[in-house]
Amino acid sequence: MVAALNGAALGGGYELALACHHRIALKNPKAEFGLPEVMLGLLPGGGGTVRLPRMLGLQDSLPFLTEGKKLKAEAALRAKLVDDLAETPEEMIAKAKEWIKANPNAKNPWDDKSFKYPGGNTRSPKIAGMIPIVPAMARKKTYGNYPAPIAIIASVAEGSVVDIDTASRIESRYFTYLATGQVSKNMTNAFWFNLNKINGGGSRPKGVEKQVTKKLGVIGAGMMGSGIAYVSAMAGIEVILRDTTMERAEKGKAYSEMLVNKRVKKGKMTKEKAQEVLDRIIATDDANAVAGADLIIEAVFEDREIKGNVTKECEAVMDSTGVYASNTSTLPITGLAKASVRPEKFIGIHFFSPVDKMPLVEIIKGEKTDDETLAKAFDYVKQIGKTPIVVNDSRGFYTSRVFSTYVLEGIAMIGEGQNPQYVENTGHQAGMPVGPLALTDEVSISLIDHIRKQTIKDFEAEGKSIPDHPAYVVIDKLINLDRKGKAAGAGFYEYPEGSKKFLWPGLNNLFEQAEPLAQQEIIDRLLFIQAIETVRCVEEGVIESVADANIGSIFGWGFAPYQGGTLQFVNAYGFDKFIKRAEELQAKYGDRFAVPQLLKDKAAKGEIFK
């Protein structure tokens, strides 16, 4: 039996190939090979943990099984995931037939009674010494929140010392254990059903023809603008990167040059391809250079007046049917659109930093944004290979608004006298990729302070006041001490040149130290505050899609992936239990934990978020 692989073979598809005697793959640039089931909280249940280790050995197979590594055709051949490559489908079939004729009595090595594990099984001294360490390393990475890697290691280890039929039964039982567990249900819901709904255009306006962005204007060549220019040029789009001076514009383009040069050094791109990408980016200080652009993205400083001036300047010269977008992360789009003569063609396209690495883009509809404009933004985000979520206008929209609750809750605990290192470590234990204090430094303490002051100013203009948050007592102290974040060289952390950052020792002296909270109490505070704010976003109509909420939380700011997203966290916890726990937190820490009426109403009806 020869597996002739003309496209991708992932998961069950690759396990079918493993059951064959020989594997020939077509040199299809889009095809990938591997066993990514761990990314859904599962293990390869069709023989993956049995056959791959018998083919590659335990050590070489575990990265593919526990990390879900996927390889392109040439890399798969080097890693021995496939045995041969073909240039054309015809050559692939011809090679398959030739191999069958040349091997009439083919037998997989593990079907031979004399079979020996490559490199030894778990009873061999070398492997026996290694195996106990592997689960410990996995737990260090996952904080015990992901059972799949541990189950995979156990299935491989136990299956290595028995015959293949018994090993397959062991694998099936571990698979059942994972598939019936809550983590797998959460991750499958998010990374399969929710993600497929988004990528399938679930939030795109129906009945609007697909639009292709050909010429993009990017205003502002700072970190965000430079990143937007890079990902757009990589997608084949002509980019006009404009700033107030040529020096700034050229510096912005140099960022793309640095990134493509890295790809060339790693063998991921040819010099010719790299030059093509750079040639698509025109750095300029000429305001008229964006004439003819069918999409303009403004990425200037978070100041309403500056953004308004840029809007007027660009609309005077841009394509009359083109779309104008702001990359603002906090300022309401409807307010920014007041500077526009075409508010129906004005929209928010919020990227995350660093743009080249972050997979999500948040699209924000203003009150007057029309369907064609939304479709244009959605199609552009897909064109550059990102995942788009669509939300309605609000201060902070969805991602910035909910993300801020996580960092502010962590900061508030410092003001209560909790140990900073304990808070950071518990953030990781909760499943967040970065602790709240480190994340605040990355975003910049001064930016958070600026956003707060802008919000106070805007609310006062509307005759309103913003609710107090205990975190700002801490933020004010750090600002007064000129500790403004990582970019300033000092924040919650110290950033010594040439060595690793560490928490600023003086942080412990700012507030009287209190009795440590139970770890679960901190975890609940960090996760519940994000989930409650997400429910408020649903209640206010900011979020219309559960899929957008869940994927936006995971891809946008790293909400614990094993929980399946902020709304799935509520579903899995159980509405009645969630409400009871939230009320306990409200009684202890304040009304920011108040349960939204929408959640109470859904609980009364026995509904969930779906």
Other Cβ atoms less than 10 A from the Cβ of 111: the count is: 11
| pLDDT for residue 201 | 96
Which pTM value belongs to this model?
0.93
* Residue-level pLDDT at 608: 97
Residue 323's φ and ψ, nearest 5 degrees, are: -105, 140
Tell me the average pLDDT of the chain.
Answer: 95
What's the rounded Cα separation, in Å, for the pair 487 and 441? 8
User: Max Cα separation, the chain?
Assistant: 85
The residue annotated as part of the active site, out of 15, 171, 362, 424, is 362
The verdict on whether 32 is a catalytic residue reads no
- Mean pLDDT for 127-155 is 91
Which residues are CB-neighbours of 104 under 8 A, at least 6 positions away?
A: none
Question: What does each C-alpha distance from 518 to 471, 563, 580 come to in angstroms?
Answer: 20, 21, 18
Q: For residue range 372-382, list pLDDT tens digits in order.
A: 999 999 999 99
Class level of CATH domain 215-395: alpha beta
Tokens (6 digits) for 564: 């399946």
Per-residue pLDDT of 343-352, as tens digits, reads 999 999 999 9
CA dihedral of 229, 233, 235, 237, whole degrees rounded to 10: 100
Percent of the chain with pLDDT over 90: 88
CATH number 3.30.70.20 is the correct assignment for the domain at 2-180: no
Confidence grade of residue 459 (pLDDT, cut at 50, 70, 90): confident
Q: For residue 330, is pLDDT > 90?
A: no
Geometric angle at alpha carbon 372, from 370 and 377, rounded to 5°: 100
CATH topology of domain 400-541+574-605: N-(1-d-carboxylethyl)-l-norvaline Dehydrogenase; domain 2 (1.10.1040)
Each residue of 461-516: pLDDT tens digit?
A: 888 888 889 999 999 999 999 999 999 999 999 999 999 999 999 999 999 999 99
pLDDT greater than 90 at residue 97: yes
Which pLDDT band, with edges at 50, 70 and 90, does 331 fall under?
confident
Instruction: Locate the domains of the chain by residue range.
Output: 2-180, 215-395, 400-541+574-605
Q: Same topology for domains 2-180 and 215-395, yes or no?
A: no
Helix, strand or coil for residue 395? coil
Q: CA torsion 97→101→105→110, rounded to 10°?
A: -40
**Cβ-count burial of 320 within 10 angstroms (0-12 exposed, 13-18 middle, 19+ buried)?**
exposed
Q: Which residues make Cβ contacts (< 8 Å) with residue 449, sequence separation at least 6?
A: 475, 476, 479
